[in-house]
Amino acid sequence: MTGALADFRWRARFAFADSGQRAPCEAQGRVRGIRPRQRCPCIVHPSRSRRTALLLTGPCATDRRATDRRATDRRYPTAVDLGAHCVASRPALRESVICASMRTVPSLAPTMSWPFVVSLLSLSIWLGLLCLRGGFWRVRLPAAAAPPTDWPAVVAVVPARNEAEVVAEAVTSLLTQAYSGEFRVILVDDHSDDGTAALARAAAAACGREDRLHIVSAQPLPPGWSGKVWAQQQGVEAVAALLPDAEYVWLTDADIGHPPAALAGLVALARAEGRDLVSEMVRLRTASPAERLLIPAFVFFFAKLYPFQWVADARKRTAGAAGGCLLVRRAALDRIGQMRAIHDALIDDCALAAALKRHGPIRLDLSRAAVSLRPYDGWRPIWDMIARTAYTQLHYSRWALAGTVLAMTLTYLVPPVLTVTGALSGAIWTWPAALAWILMVCAYRPTLRYYGQAGLLAWLLPGVALFYLGATLDSARRHWLGRGGQWKGRAQGTATQQARPRR
């Protein structure tokens, strides 16, 4: 019974033909376009066993003697059905290699080519980012917290170096805060030569709040300190003399405009949740074409590095903050040694967040109304902003730089390139690459919506990522040339040991 079933299966694969019947593609005992005993990329022939058929793929040659034996063996059919277009008779099997419209099992070799594997890898990266990276792509604005029963004293510390263009508006937004508790502003003039301090005094006089503003002249920068952190340290030290019972220190920048209720909201949130640090990433300016194209991606990439949900989770080691707005509990700041704990940090906000999170909970959110006043009218200022600290973020590691190049390429550049090339050639890798690109667009659209930009700009994210990658490489080049960390005409230092944010 088993032999009969096998014989039936064998004969089901090979059809009988009448004597003398010729295949349409066969002429004079040859298959079209192929000479007798010619090497061929694929051959189908009956096996030596009656019960099985052997399918061979790949370069091979016809064995004349074996073919003759099969052709004279009456156990085999007189003709082989090779599909709808070709039937080869025994004489053809003797004289030629069968290779025309034959029915074969598709090879996996074209499918598992390196572009297909790379496209699958890129798709896997995006699936992992969307599902396993703390929902970084979602835009969650903080809910208003209940006001405390008593409003603690707060001192704002503002380091300023040559900020004549924006300092008046920034100081005015601080002095006009609608805050019920005691509040003072310390502006640390970091050796400005453009009249920054005078403009700040004029702004205080214009709004009738001279009593709230105190200006401190910074001492010369000591070795081993970055300029901004040194200015902040002097401001923090001045808090004890100005308002000894201050419970919070509000670290902000001279180019940030705050809404009147900003401080009250920060204090209420810090008190309600018992946070040592509450930070908000302000809305960056998006007025010029370069800003509209490049700035939202900065926030997107930052949120991917420091998912806000993980920052607020005490079980996670991820720590991040935005330097434009940090409300710090003064006792927590004193516990880590004030700004001395991060004296050489160029990425001071994230370094401070990492130091504080080791001892207490912190939080980072997107701001509803606080805005950056600094203009970036062309691509060059944005390039310099990235290049100033990008290599610092990588801890001056060539291996980390190489890994970043590889990761950015797989994540952002591979999907569009393989989608286009695959579509033009009809390759199978088009589909995973296109899906990865679509996921990229879907992840980026909420950030564009937060900035009020058109959703179609999300399709340009690969080009924006290439811009950021170029600026990162330039950051490494500047460091190797001894010009890393330059800001306002002063090199911030190139310390090889930075406070490392935990992730």
pLDDT in tens, 427-458: 999 999 999 999 999 999 999 999 999 999 99
H helical segments located in 152-273: 167-175, 196-206, 227-242, 262-273
From CA 161, how far away is CA 146, in angstroms rounded? 37
Q: Please answer whether residues 296 and 461 qualify as being in contact, where contact means their C-beta atoms are separated by less than 8 angstroms.
A: no
Q: What one-character DSSP code corresponds to residue 455? A: G
Q: Please answer whether residues 291 and 230 qualify as being in contact, where contact means their C-beta atoms are separated by less than 8 angstroms.
A: no
Top pLDDT among 79 and 212 is at: 212
Give Cα 282 to chain centroid, integer Å: 20
Amino acid at position 426, single letter: G
Top pLDDT among 111 and 335 is at: 335
Residue 157, φ and ψ in degrees, nearest 5: -115, 125
Tokens 């890994």 correspond to what residue?
403
Helix (H, G, I), strand (E, B) or coil at 400: helix
The mean of the pLDDT values for the chain is 82
Mean pLDDT calculated for residue range 85-104: 41
Contacts of 86 (CB under 8 A, 6+ apart): 23, 24, 25, 26, 31, 98, 100, 101, 102
From CA 388, how far away is CA 380, in angstroms rounded? 12
From CA 46, how far away is CA 52, in angstroms rounded? 8
Contacts of 263 (CB under 8 A, 6+ apart): 154, 156, 177, 179, 183, 250, 327
Q: Which helix (H) or strand (E) holds 256?
A: strand 256-257
From CA 319, how far away is CA 355, in angstroms rounded? 9
Q: Provide, rounded to the nearest whole percent, the portion of the chain with pLDDT above 70.
A: 74
Predicted local confidence at residue 265, as pLDDT? 96
Top pLDDT among 9 and 402 is at: 402
Specify the length of the chain in residues.
503
Predicted local confidence at residue 488, as pLDDT? 59
The model's pTM: 0.76
Top pLDDT among 412 and 346 is at: 412
Contacts of 315 (CB under 8 A, 6+ apart): none
Amino acid at position 132, single letter: L
Tell me how crowded residue 132 is: count the other CB atoms within 10 A of its CB: 8
Q: What one-character DSSP code corresponds to residue 377? A: -
In the sheet where 256-257 sits, what is the strand order?
Answer: 213-217, 183-189, 154-160, 248-252, 325-329, 277-283, 362-372, 256-257
Range of 31-35, 301-305, 477-481 with top mean pLDDT: 301-305
**179-211 confidence digits (pLDDT tens):** 999 999 999 999 999 999 999 999 999 999 999
Report all structural domains of the chain as residue ranges with CATH numbers, in order of start: 54-102 (no CATH), 114-135+388-491 (no CATH), 154-377 (3.90.550.10)
Helix (H, G, I), strand (E, B) or coil at 111: coil
* Range with lowest mean pLDDT among 86-90, 155-159, 329-333, 361-365: 86-90
Tell me how crowded residue 497 is: count the other CB atoms within 10 A of its CB: 9
Mean pLDDT calculated for residue range 338-346: 94
Predicted local confidence at residue 125, as pLDDT? 98
* Range with lowest mean pLDDT among 40-49, 204-213, 249-258, 340-349: 40-49
**56-66 confidence digits (pLDDT tens):** 333 343 444 44
Predicted local confidence at residue 71, as pLDDT? 44
Predicted local confidence at residue 195, as pLDDT? 94
Mean pLDDT calculated for residue range 156-165: 96
Please determine, for residue 274, whether its predicted confidence score (pLDDT) is greater than 50. Answer: yes
